[in-house]
Chain A
Amino acid sequence: MSEIINNREYRQKILKELIKELHEGKGVDEVKERFAELIEGIAPTEITEMEQALIAEGMPVSEVQRLCDVHAEVFKGSIEEIHSPSGPEKTPGHPVHTFMSENREIEKLISVIEEHIQGKNRESLKGDIEKLATIDKHYARKENLIFPYMEKYDITAPPKVMWGVDDEIRDAVKTVKAMLETEASFAEIEKHTNETTHRIEEMIFKEESIMFPMILEVFTQDEWMAIEKSGDEIGYTLFAPSQKWAPVPDNLTTITKPELEKHPSGKVKFDAGFMMPEEINAVLNTLPLDITFVDESGHVQYFSQGEERIFPRPITIIGREVKNCHPPASVHVVEKVVENLKSGKNDSEDFWIKMGDKFVYIRYFAVRGKKGEYLGTLEVTQNISPIQELSGEKRLMDD
């Protein structure tokens, strides 16, 4: 018997049957016992895995959710062992919790706005439309923090559509705001306000019934943490998370962390975003300046190959010690610069020289890791004479 019970596939099959029975209307009490028997002695994570497998097989999430009631019954109070305190959306500080709390506040504000409309209270309406305009923060966090990860998982179409609608809503709010400054009739304002709030409510529905469930399934805990961390920079709408989200370290993600740095599609992960290696190379070559990177041990590791390099660098210098790549007359200067950057005495050192019609700005920066440790020196050179010549303004495109 135990061999059978221990068989993963067998358990999976039973689980499926239980879900089917629940779907067909059997009560929680009826299947509870068999469920308890099934899961006896297996780790809560395996139950979650089994559920994930069922979802991957194509079983609708809503069906699998039927099991939650059974968990609750079987485990009584300790359901959090399986599902974190009944889902991230109920965990204060989690980005989804924050987004949803903002939505509740937005809804409250919308009902207040509706009251102002009813009472034809132009002044109060003005103040609350101002408040509504802060919805920009909610959308900006979604667009700049959530969408990049969705794209990473090849979920590209929904964010594109959603961003377009976000922008329309921003414009609609602006229009109402502007109308309130003019002599526009109240009927006109009422019409625009109602249209706007209606679209906002639709967006809330879209976020909560499609987007959040979708991303909660794919984003890793590390990704949620990165999203949560950047939230403050952009700001919030009518709500501020009262506490930081402190998830229980997820063993799985810690172990696979090195792999997470690299996306399966070959993209390289940065602090903000992902790029393919050939994109990184092309981007660096497109920068309107030349860069050379010398590693911590003083060896040349990389230089960009823009169209016009100011100081030509033969490819053969890669891997060589930087002091061997300079004329003896200047080598001691270079050594001193690197030494000061390395020791932390300074973070940068600038020089500027004339070279024919070029005015060359040469800057050396200490490159430091997240903990401040010295990783190397970055040399940035740029011909700034065209920049120095700029004056006045240029607001139009060249033909």
Chain B
Amino acid sequence: MSILPFHVQNLSLHYGGQSAEALSDINWSAPAGQLSAIIGPNGAGKSTLFKAAMGLLNAQKGQVQFFGENLDDVRGQVSYMPQRTAVDWDFPVNALDVATMGLYAQIGWLKRIKRTHKEQAMAALERVKMADHAHKQIGALSGGQQQRVFLARALAQNADLYLMDEPFAGIDAKTQDLIIDIFHALKAAGKTVIVVHHDLHSAEGIFDEVLLLNKRVIAHGAASEVLSETHLKTAYSAHG
């Protein structure tokens, strides 16, 4: 696909009541069909960038285009996975129910869930090796298992672009390997994956492209180049 799947232009955002910008004039495009990571210190605006892109926060300036279009025109092609801590895991649903939520838009609003949808959701759970836990209440799952259920919900959406916020946070080694395998499978299928990532050391081995962010773009490009010492110093020094 030659059209840019994720194209950020002059994006600036500050939260209400605060004068300092959370994001300042961001320009970046994720390469199509590649694995990209957004890396930066806490409070660098990594999640904010995703939320602004997905319309969960209003940017004061600039825009984000998906496959050359506005998000509303290509929603079915874009999947967003929030941080695991964003939801209440005591909620009375099981893993299969959560995976099925990835299909809701496809099922259509006000329409009922059919057996085929449950089968599709089950297939997504199988991909993340969670089929055995399909009928467990989500609160009874470990952190890694919960993350895999979230991933299954995203996979069920069958999108072309995946935005994932901290998929590697607080998970076990087995889940980490599984998620990396899924990333490679998505890449092999021509999908684009962009991940907010916190671990500098593992980034180079997993991702093709890196955006180094600290409220503004510090550097972007091939992972090995961007993760150079000078760039990291700039990103992780007091005010970038």
**A and B found bound together:** no
